């Protein structure tokens, strides 16, 4: 007669469920993004993030090999979130092309206002402190901004095709100008705790590019 043999139970604490591991990792990434949009990389301590979500200090390196690895994942996570937001506006063909960009500006202002202008753009924040960051972040941050520019250039090309902007406009250059100026406006809005810099940039950009 066959018998089922139950293996002896190993001593020690039971292994965490895979779902618990993923959930804790996601919570760390969410808390990290929130901290970096407000304080930047250098001003954010790992202990502070762990404490905010109740994770033991020794657990961090179970999820990330170093603060640099953690930072790289935060950049990628923020980019994925932001690209989804850009696509929600820029791919909305129910609106004229320039109106999509204007809608993005309005939504971004609303988002900063929701957090009393304490939080800015994670990419812009890290770009400002690049001199004190791991060099590996430089190309990653640049690639993120170039990706946003390419999406913006496509919208501007659609605006050109629709006659909203002049046919001589270099859409790639104007897309680069938008993100250079917008990141500066976000920084100023965070500094002044005011929407005025955002509105000023949006107003001048749209007025300058319209036909």
Q: Which tens digits make up the pLDDT trace of 151-193?
A: 999 999 999 999 999 999 999 999 999 999 999 999 999 999 9
Q: Tokens at residue 202, please?
A: 């949006």
| Tokens found for residue 163 | 């006659």
To the nearest whole percent, how much of the chain has pLDDT over 70? Answer: 91
Residue 19: pLDDT over 80 = no
Note the CATH architecture for domain 75-209.
Answer: Orthogonal Bundle (1.10)
Own/partner contacts of 163-170, CB < 8 Å, gap of 24 or more, are 163/211, 164/96, 164/97, 164/98, 164/210, 164/211, 165/98, 165/209, 165/210, 165/211, 166/211, 169/209
Q: DSSP letters along 70-118, please?
A: HHHHHHHHHHHHHHHHHHHHHT-TTS-HHHHHHHHHHHHHHHHHHTTT-
Beta bridge partners of 40: none
Cα dihedral 153, 105, 95, 148, rounded to 10, equals 30
Of the listed ranges 7-21, 53-67, 140-154, the least confidently predicted one is: 7-21
CB 169 within 8 A of CB 156: yes
Q: What is the pTM of this model?
A: 0.85
The lowest-confidence range among 62-76, 94-108, 190-204 is 62-76
- What was the pLDDT predicted at 59? 79
pLDDT of 195: 98
Mean pLDDT of the chain: 90
**Using an 8 Å Cβ cutoff, are 186 and 125 in contact?**
no
Least confident of 8-12, 87-91, 93-97, 134-138: 8-12
Predicted confidence at residue 136, as pLDDT, reads: 93
Residue 148 clears pLDDT 80, i.e. is over it: yes
Q: Are the C-beta atoms of 118 and 57 separated by less than 8 Å?
A: no
């Amino acid at each position: 007669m066959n018998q089922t043999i139950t293996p002896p139970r190993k001593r020690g604490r039971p292994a965490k469920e895979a779902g618990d591991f993923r959930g804790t990792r996601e919570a760390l990434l969410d808390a990290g993004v929130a901290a970096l949009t407000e304080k930047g990389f250098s001003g954010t301590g790992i202990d502070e993030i762990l404490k905010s979500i109740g994770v033991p200090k020794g657990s961090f390196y179970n999820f990330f090999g170093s603060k640099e690895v953690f930072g790289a994942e935060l950049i990628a996570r923020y980019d994925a979130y932001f690209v989804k937001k850009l696509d929600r506006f820029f791919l909305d063909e129910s609106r004229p092309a320039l109106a999509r960009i204007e809608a993005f500006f309005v939504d971004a202002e609303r988002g900063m206002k929701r957090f009393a202008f304490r939080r800015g753009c994670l990419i812009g924040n890290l770009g400002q402190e690049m001199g004190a960051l791991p060099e590996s972040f430089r190309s990653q941050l640049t690639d993120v901004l170039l990706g946003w520019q390419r999406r913006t250039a496509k919208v501007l090309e659609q605006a050109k095709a629709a006659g909203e902007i002049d046919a001589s406009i270099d859409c790639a250059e104007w897309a680069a100008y938008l993100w250079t100026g917008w990141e500066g406006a976000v920084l100023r809005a965070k500094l002044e705790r005011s929407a005025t810099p955002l509105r000023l940039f949006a107003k001048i950009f749209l007025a300058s590019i319209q036909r």
